[in-house]
Each structure stands twice: as structure tokens, then as C-alpha cells.
A and B are shown apart, each in its own frame.
Chain A
């Protein structure tokens, strides 16, 4: 699975770099994947799997999926 982090979520990724590759032997809840990567759910504002928006709490992802997660976007 390839995960792209947007906004300030890159901060939480290993090496603070996006995207990251995650190897999944079987489908897993997105919440579990994010927890293992160290991305707090409270910071995720938008999630999409293969280009389609999903509920981060309900989504299940597999090894072939492309996942985007984006933080809240403020101004300035």
C-alpha cells in the first residue's frame, strides 16, 4: 500500500517524508495502519482510497491500494 500524507501529516511519518510504502499481508482497517505509522487520527481531516473519499474510521485498505490522508487546512 502506498500512503500520501498532505498538510502537516507529513510531520508524523518516518523520516518526515511522503509517500510511504506499507506492506500489508491482509486487508486492515485504515485506523490501524495510521496508528502504526504514528499519524494521530485527530489530525486527519480527509481520507481517500484510490481517489475516492472514505470515512477514516470505517475504511479497510489492502496492499494494492493508494491512500491519501490530509490534515485540517488553515489559512495564512
Chain B
């Protein structure tokens, strides 16, 4: 293996039980160097439009990125992609941890899974040796049990296990994947796709070392050491190390942007039960890292007084099971989080779906006869924990909620749809668009449905004296813009940051690594790519990689019938919040439509329809995609 040369991917057909190795063309790989870019290319070219996401015909791609496994903090990520059973759109979910680097060390960039096995199986990869193994004995067990069982079976305690849980086996539409029990491809129902194929896990062990395969290992190694030191010298990475993401609860409450009681409110009267100081005092036991990352932002906790093998809740989970459900009990949040991870549910969608059901219950659209006797009212912590269990098992009322808010609302009827806080079928993360307008744009336009990791959030570029703004200048940022604006400058921010974020997803860098969100200067990101590969590329080349990724996902969705009308937000957001600093302030409907047109234009898409234009696609070296769009 040499980084960027003779890159190999595995192709697994579960129907046939066959495994093949494909070597990618070097010039192709420079355009689509792993992660989101490679997965997007494969899905767009190999998955026929309108394929049932839970049928054997769906294609599941698990792809590390160009930098995944490099000895550089935050270069740990891999992507899982397929047509999403939650949105019927382009599906994608990233995670860090250890599995992506291990796949690279085993000599493979990606795994493409087609077909479906008649019986449960798992895939074992040990360097060049790859085999499918029976998994009947693993089916129906918790993720912790399965990880232990596979390690015992393979007689290797260090094998890295990526797996679904019983939620994926039951094809819950927001089931995810986990590696090492603490790192999650939560979003978009990729676990349900894997479950539909009866593939329970992928166990990987490799002995290659990224640094030894790099073009300039000395430069890469020196950069890695410099960045490890910088983690403690930059406020953003230092803060992530000290408190992780759960620290966001109180500042967001103070800003009036803490999603509360199904996004009706922006401030939570029970926030003291969830804030970092409470978390730290009552459940926190220490922190852990992803592969070679000096930040160590992952939290370890005890649940029910015992150390949990699943890691602690991130902010998104605290928000989803806490304030969004009106729950102020950090112990209940930690328990719900543990169950999600044992069964492998996306904690954002799970919490948001329970919050939706609570509002339906309180407004009389459903009652105890529908909910198996559970009083689904805001603030009922016990009900939240009960519902997580029922959703994962599709038990009783949980079977309806396992479909996600959009489908559940359609089945409940009446005006339940107004309580479904989703975009394209995916539940909104715990960031309030009425306080960050480009987050609203992210939720609306993202190809995967509501997503909070498309662009750095608005305030990062609101002050030209800030560290984050200064670091974004090499990316092409030209002006500081107000948080509560959708002006042309903000759309330029979005256009730049979306390409940068998409590049991160292609290359394997974490959202918490590169500036402007965090501490790695873009020039150092560029240095890392060139030291790894010897390519001599520029920042514009990196942004182009990102832009290819977003365009392929957009074209995928166009082929599935998505239109401009799908780039929108729940109606609730166009009304005011009930409380908090932003009380009464709506997301601006008219400005939004104008901004959407302006953003389409910046992206080289048709201003009215949002269809990617041939000229931009050809300038990105992907005229083939324009042909594909025309053919349909």
C-alpha cells in the first residue's frame, strides 16, 4: 500500500457469497479520494434509481478516507452510505473511532456490499485474508456481547468490530452502526440497510502502518506531533478535551437555542439537571480518544452506578433525550443513551421521535391505548427509557415510532405532521435554526435530510477578529456576516464551508479537527494531504473534492425525484419560539427562498430548480454526472 496509489477496495456479494478485490485507477482516486467522494461515485454509478432501500439490491458502501489512519489528530473517520430507508434519499453517516484506520491498515480503502445473505453472517478481514462467517449465534444479542463473542471466536482481543445491533436486525429506519461500542454511524438508517442484508458485523485487523506508506513520512510525523501540542493551545480543541460536547447545554440555553419540548422552546427550565457541571458530578468518569487523536473528546460515564461499556452521551443525545423531551434527569439520559448503543439506534432520531410522540400524546392525537399504557408526556423520564427499548424491538407502539416521525405522523393522521421535526424524513439534530440561520439552510439543503455537520455554525464567521474567522480566510472567506442573516455573504460562507465540510468527509478528517470549527489550520490540512500522497495539490483542489461529493449526492436525489420543494424546514420553524432569548423570532420564510436561489446559483445549479448545471460539473471533471442526469 502506498497512500493514494493502487488503492484497493473489497467487493462483497452476500447473495452469491463472493468476495473480490478491486484496484482503483490512480487518476480516478485523485478525483474521488475515499469517504464521501468514493461512496458517492459508487452509489451514483452502481445503484439503480428507485431501489427499495431495504431490498438486496441496495448497495452499502463503507469507506475510509484519504487521510484516515494518518498519525494526525482527528484523521479517523469513515463513511457508511446507501440509499436511506429513513429518507429514500442519498444516505450517509460518518464515525470516528478505530475501525476506519484499521481497515486502512488491513490494506483496503472501502468495502462495497451488495445482495443479501440468506442467513446472518459477519465479515472477517485480517490483512489480505477475507471471509464470511456465520452469525446466527450473534443475532439478537447486544453490541457488547457481539464484540466480545467475535474477539473470542477470532482469538484476537484487538480485532476492531463494526456492527449493527438488534435495531438494525429489526430494520428500525434510524438504526445505526457502532465500532468499539463508543463510536457511531448513527444517522440515516444505515444499520437497517446492513440488517436487511443480514450482515451483523465487519471485524478488521491490519498490520500496515499509514506513516510507513506515506510519500513523506517525516513531514507527516512532524505535523502530527505539532498538532498534538496545539490541541492544548487552542481554545476550541482545549474545550473539547476538557468537557466534550455536553458543555453545549448551558450556552445554548443562554442563547435561547436549546431545543426544548419538541422545538417549541429555546430555553429549558430543567437545564441545571443536564448541564456539564451536573454531568461531570453525577455520571462522568473520564475521557477517551479516537485513533491517534490528542483531543480525547469522548466521555466515559457510569450508568446505574456502574461503568458503562458504551461511552457517555454526547450533547446531541443530552438534547434529544433531555430538553427536547422535557427531561432534566441526566441519569435517565445516560440510560437511554446506553440502550441506544446496546441496540444501536441513532440517539438523535430516537429522542426526537419520542418528543414528537409526546406532543401528539399531550394534544390528544394518541392516548394510553395507543402507547401500551405509557403516559408519554414531556418530562416523563421513565417513559423515554421504556420507549427506547420498545423502538429497538419494534414492540407495540415502538413499532410505529421505529418508522421515524414522518411515517409515524402519516399513520397517526390528524395534524400530527406539524409535530414531526424532520427534513426529508430525517429528524432534526439539537441545534435551533431560528438562532443560526445557516444551520437552517444546512437542515434544508443537505442531501441526507436535517444534518448539523454540513458547515461550521454561523457564529464561527460572525466576527472578523475571531480565531475561527482568521483561520477561514485561506478557504476564501471574504467578510464577517451576522448570525441572524441569510444575505449573500452568508450564502458565500455556506458555499465555501459546505465544500470544506464535504472534503473532510471524503478525506476522513473529523468535524472537530480542521478550522474554522476547531484548531487545524487549512494550510496544515493541505500539508498533511501532500505529505501523505506527494500530490502537490492546492486548497482549491481540496474544495473541488468536496464539491464533487455534494454534487453527486444532489444528482442521486434528483434521480430519486427530489426537488426544490424538499429543500425546506418544518412549518414550526417559520413561527416564533415560545421562550428564551429568541422568543417570538421565526426563521425568515421570504429571505429563505431568496437565499436558497442565491445558494443554488453559487453552486452552479439552476437558480429556480436546484438542478446541478453541466458547466460546473464539467469544470469539476465530472461531465459524466451531467450525462447521467440527462439520461434520466
Contact = CB atoms under 8 A, between A and B. Distances in A.
Interface of A: 6-12, 16, 40-43, 45-46, 48, 53, 68, 70-76
Contacts of A8: 235-236, 238-239
Contacts of B511: 75-76
Given A70-B251, A75-B453, A45 B462 contact: yes
Contact of A73 (B242, B457, B465, B512): B457
Contacts of B92: none
Given A45-B462, A75-B452, A7 B251 contact: yes
A16 B241 CA distance: 13
B215 to A, nearest CB: 31
Among A6, A11, A41, residue most surrounded by chain B Cβ atoms (within 10 Å)? A11
A75 B439 contact: yes
Contacts of A72: 457, 459-460, 462-463, 466, 468
Among A8, A42, A73, residue most surrounded by chain B Cβ atoms (within 10 Å)? A73
Given A42-B463, A74-B460, A76-B315, A6 B251 contact: yes
Contacts of B315: 76
A46 B459 CA distance: 11
Contacts of B572: none
Contacts of B209: none
B248 A73 contact: yes
A40 B457 CA distance: 20
Interface string B557-583: 000000000000000000000000100
Contact of A42 (B240, B255, B314, B466): B466
Interface in B233-255: 235-236, 238-240, 242, 245, 247-248, 250-252, 254-255
B581 to A, nearest CB: 7
A74 B436 CA distance: 10
6 contacts: A7-B251, A42-B464, A70-B251, A72-B457, A74-B459, A76-B248
Nearest to A43: B466
Contacts of A76: 240, 245, 248, 314-316, 452-453, 511-512, 517
Contact of B252 (A16, A40, A53, A73): A73
A31 to B, nearest CB: 12
B255 A12 contact: no
A57 B235 CA distance: 22
Nearest to A48: B254
A55 B431 CA distance: 24
A2 B514 CA distance: 34
Nearest to A39: B235
A53 B570 CA distance: 30
Contact of A9 (B235, B429, B465): B235
A6 B254 contact: yes
Contacts of A75: 248, 429, 431, 439, 452-453, 457, 511, 517
B467 interface: yes
A73 B242 CA distance: 15
